[in-house]
Amino acid sequence: MLQASIKKYSINNDLEQIIKSCSIDCNINRNGNIIRLEEYCIPVGKGMYQIHYKNPSNGRMYLRNDVPDKLSFKQIQQREYSFPRKDLPILFTEAGFQGGVDGYSILTPYEDDPEILDSSVINEDLNMLEDIKPWDSDKKFTDLELDPVLRKYITGLYKNYNLLPYLRRDHLKEIGGGTNLIYFKEIDREDIRKLMDCVKNLYDSSDTSDALKRKIGEYFSINSKKDSINKKVLELIKYGDYDMHQLDDLISIAIQHPNFINEQLKLYKK
């Protein structure tokens, strides 16, 4: 179970590393993100335990020089070889599960070019730079070999994102930008009509996916119901037994118990 958990953890961290290496600010933060080695104590059999250290960023595990491979529970409890003890050498060797030794399920150092951490990269508090390697490539998106479905999805995200400045400027009346403050003009009925026409054209377009059409339909269905409820509540207030400061409460009641508002209106209209 432990080894399966470590493998799953490693896969998740590999994916996280890839995402971080592709981020826009990777070059900026590569020397700013600081991590700390995490100390782990695991049972290895026959009542013994082993201390190892893990890099939380990439999942790599290390053994520390001068720390025995097997420790008793008392040694663990008294923290004989644990942080914050600082007189141990600042030297860590990459290790992993390789079958154990003499019946003990212990980690052992890799023989084939293990990573070594010394005082040049890690301090006595076990802090070190995360050191994400930026993914620099001259390839363009069109040069990458991708699954057609994934390529279509990413292209759709890119095109949708490029629509935002247009929507903000032409439909939401954005003013400013650059070194100026951004603010929005008050939207009038004509602006709302244009925006609604834009949404209707989007809904009617053959290029619009069925999933997006459903979302548009659900949104306007919900808002249509809200508008109807608001009109009924305002009509109820108009008759005089309720005040405007009760508006929010009445709307909440109308949403949960729509028949209540309808019955109240019927009484006033008799």
The pLDDT tens digits of the residues spanning 1-53 come to 556 776 777 788 778 878 888 888 888 777 778 899 999 999 988 899 999 99
User: Tokens for 46?
Assistant: 């026959």
What is the C-alpha separation between 114 and 125, in angstroms, rounded?
22
pLDDT at 179 over 70: no
More confident residue, 72 or 221: 72
Confidence of residue 120 (pLDDT cuts 50, 70, 90): very high
Query: What three-state secondary structure class fits 214?
Result: helix
According to DSSP, the residues that pair with 52 across neighbouring strands are: 40
Confidence of residue 170 (pLDDT cuts 50, 70, 90): confident
Distances (CA, A) of 209 to 147, 149, 150, 195, 206: 19, 14, 15, 20, 8
What number is the average pLDDT over the span 233-243? Answer: 71
Q: Does pTM top 0.75 for this prediction?
A: no
Burial of 41 (0-12, 13-18, 19+ CB in 10 A): middle
Burial of 209 (0-12, 13-18, 19+ CB in 10 A): exposed
What number is the average pLDDT over the span 62-81? Answer: 93
